[in-house]
Structure formats: structure tokens, C-alpha cells
Amino acid sequence: MAEMDTSGGGGHKKGPGVKKSKKLSTRVDLTPMVDLGFLLITFFIFTTTMSQPTAMKLILPKDTEKPEEQNKVKESGALSLLLGKNNAVYYYEGTLAPDGSNFKSTNYKEIRNVIIDKKKSTNPEDFVVVIKPGPESTYKNTVDILDEMTINEVKRYAMVDLFPIERQMMVATEGGGPMPTAPAPAATAPAAK
Amino acid sequence: MPKVKLPRKSTSVDMTAMCDVAFLLLSFFILTTKFKPAEALAVTTPKSVSTNPAEQKDVVMITMDSKGKIYFSVSDDAPEEKQTIIDEVNQQKALGLSDADKKAFIRSGSYIGVPFSQIKSYLALSSDQLQKLDKPGIPVDSANNELQVWVRAAYAAFQGSKMKLLIKGDNEAKYPSFKGVIDALKRNEIFKFQMITDPEGVPPGTALYQKNNGPSQPAAK
């Protein structure tokens, strides 16, 4: 296949005095070419971005001041998730006890079990997750938690700002610096680490 | 007894067929590869289990970089809307932009990353200079939420055709900047938007996993 027919036409014989020239093979060694081909294939396979970026839908509720339009949350069915810095998650069920006894800390791996357990133990009608991202939490944390809502099929969830008391509790748990008296406008503050 | 003479066979294989296959595959990959356009803003998006692909047309994109700075851009397939947006903002904020400045915004791949006070000098820069410039980002704090103005102008410009609002945030961006973006949208009565993420597998055993795979799957936990 990779050679050419160089035998000339028919059985034409040269004269007796003519020296028979040696036929050179035209067969080409294709191995390097195949090597090169596969090298390039590998390159293109690795550089191809097969996965298109996906989009996650988020629909916000309208902010309203009127109490009759606000959604009521039953205390028994509420689970508050507080997103802290360095990928920490804090949570409590119902309302926060004044002494902080029900304020627990966890991480993004364990939070799924917390949500599942709470979901199982409460009436589906009442179950609502309140997400409170702290000023030190990252965008990734927020998306991860919203994703967790999708994964665990939590139908009702809300994104709310931190209360000052929760912020203090969070800072106290994280240890380190003095308690801020007001929520720090941490947009420009570098992460203390 | 005479020895059986085994004919010596050549060990060289005909490579032609393999070569053909290799180059066929090569041409396939060359043709299907879509190189990522050189992105002016380096953003690593978080992962999510969401499966619907991100929109590509008529996109208004709000980008958050790793430092939490906000950028505003409009996809290149809508030059008329871009013109409307910059005209509207120019008029509303009395920026005094020249036609050349406006052209700089309409130019493909442009994005806004400065407050209104700097926008005139910002639009005069070439794209090389823009790369080097340390951009402060669009302010989104509650006292001075300039993103709100941009979003309102975009919303007005895309009236009629549907505007797709995408938020592309970096993993490291802090929540307050995201909140600033949400506030800017809320004040414009936009409550629906999408966040660009990378796809990720659904963890097995969870409620969504069971829903996708049918109830016959045994729960892992």
C-alpha cells in the first residue's frame, strides 16, 4: 500500500550487456508519522473543552416590608446555616439559644447529613433552610450551599443577612480577634490567615 | 528426518492503516476543538450539579474576580443594545463621552471595570493598556451602587428581546460583593438570574441522585 509500482511495463528485459540497476524499495516507514499523529491527537484531546459551562438558576424573592407578604417560618422547621470563613459552616435549628447551646459548627462535607436529618425529622410543609452567608465566606461557599439545596431537594430556602448576635457567635467560635460590636464591612478587609 | 524449515516472516507491519486512522482522528479533533477565547478576566467558577448549559446569546454578564471586584459586560452579538446602553448611561450620568469612547465600549470583548468617575479615561485606553491597568471594579456598596445603573440601562436596551443575565463569580470572591450584585439586581426588580458554574456529578445516595436515577436505586445511606 505504501509503495509504488516501479517494476516498469511488463517483462521488458534489457539487453545482455546492460547492467541491471538495483531497484530501490519505495516503501516508506510510516511509524514516525503515526507517532506524530497520535501525539497530536493526544494534545487535542487534552485541550478540547468538552464540558460547556452550566448555569445555575436563582430566583430571589421580592423584598417586602409588609408583614402580611413576608413568609413566615415555623420555628420547629427552620434550619439556619451560617457560612463562616475558611470554609466553616455553623448551624442551629429553630431559634438561636441565648447561651448559644444549639450553635454547632461543621464543614461542607458534613452539612449534607445535617440537612438530610433535619429534612427527615420535620414536616415537609414546615421545613425551610435559612442561608446566612457571613462577610468572610466566599462566593464558592454560597454556590456550594445553594447546590446542596438542589442536591437534597430542599424546596424552601432563603438567603438572609447575618444578625449581629450570630456574627458575634461566629467570631467567638472561630477564635482569634476581639468580638466586633457591629458586623464588620469586610469587603475590603483581607482574610486573617 | 529433514528439518522443517520455518519461513522467516518479516516483522515490519504495514503502518498505512494505522496512519490513516490516526490522522482521521486528528482532523476530527482539530475541527471540533473550540479554543477558549483569551479571557480578559481570569475567573475560576465554582462547581454545581446544574446541568442546563449557559446561554451564549444576548448575555449581560456580571463578573466577580477573586478579589471581589465587579465587572460588567455585554455579549458581542448585540452591538445595537450595547450602543443603547452606553448612550443611556452617558446621558443619565452626564459622562460626556465622545463617539470614540462609545465605540471602545461597543468593540468586541469590552468590559467595564471602573466607577463612572474614571470611565472616560478608561474607555480611551487600548486593550493592551487595559490588561495592565489595575482596575478598581464597579462600586456595588449600598451607598453607591453603580452596577444598578448599568443593569437598568441594559434591561431597558434589551427590552423586547429577552435579556439573559449571567453572574460569573470566582471561587475566592467574598460574599459581600455578591450581595452587592444581588442588591443591584433587586433594585431593578430583577429577581431571576443565572450563575455560571462548572458541571459536577451528583453525589450518589442523595435525594437528587435518586430522582435522576429512578427510585429503584438503593439508597447508599
Interface test with B, best of A48, A119, A139, A167 (most B CBs within 10 A): A139
Condensed to tens digits (0 to 9), the pLDDT of residues A115-133 reads 888 888 887 777 888 888 8
Vertex A102: Cα angle to A100 and A106 (nearest 5): 105
Query: Who among A29, A48, A56 is closest to B197 (CB)?
Result: A56
CB A137 within 8 A of CB A111: no
Mean pLDDT of B12-39: 80
Residue B72 dihedral angles phi and psi, to the nearest 5°: -125, 130
Instruction: Evaluate if residue B32 carries a pLDDT over 60.
Output: yes
Question: What's the mean pLDDT when you consider all of chain B?
Answer: 79
Flag if B193 and A58 touch (Cβ within 8 Å): yes
CA nearest to B179, candidates A174, A58, A154, A64: A58
C-beta atoms surrounding A98 within 10 Å: 7
B166 vs A17: CA distance, rounded Å: 86
- Residue extents of the structural domains in chain B: 56-199
Flag if A55 and B207 touch (Cβ within 8 Å): no
**Among the residues of chain B, which ranges form H helices?**
16-32, 79-93, 99-106, 119-123, 127-132, 146-157, 175-187, 207-213
Instruction: Evaluate if residue A175 carries a pLDDT over 70.
Output: no
- Domain A73-174: give its CATH code: 3.30.420
Query: Who among A30, A62, A133 is closest to B16 (CB)?
Result: A30
pTM > 0.80: yes or no: no
Count CA atoms within 13 Å of residue B36 on its CB side. 13
User: pLDDT at position B134, please?
Assistant: 77
Interface test with B, best of A39, A56, A59 (most B CBs within 10 A): A56
User: pLDDT at position A183, please?
Assistant: 43
Three-state DSSP at B148 gives: helix
A45 vs B26: CA distance, rounded Å: 9
B67 vs B12: CA distance, rounded Å: 60
User: pLDDT at position B38, please?
Assistant: 57
Condensed to tens digits (0 to 9), the pLDDT of residues A39-70 reads 988 888 887 766 677 888 888 777 666 666 56
Q: Higher confidence at residue A186 or residue B13?
A: B13
User: pLDDT at position A4, please?
Assistant: 56
Q: Higher confidence at residue B15 or residue A4?
A: B15
Q: List, in order, residues 6 or more apart from B221 with CB less than 8 Å away.
A: B205
User: Percent of chain A having pLDDT more than 70?
Assistant: 72
Mean pLDDT of A94-105: 76
C-beta atoms surrounding B202 within 10 Å: 18
Residue of B nearest to A85 (CA): B174
User: pLDDT at position A7, please?
Assistant: 52
Flag if B46 and A143 touch (Cβ within 8 Å): yes
Interface test with A, best of B175, B191, B197 (most A CBs within 10 A): B175
Flag if B203 and A37 touch (Cβ within 8 Å): no
CB B123 within 8 A of CB B132: no
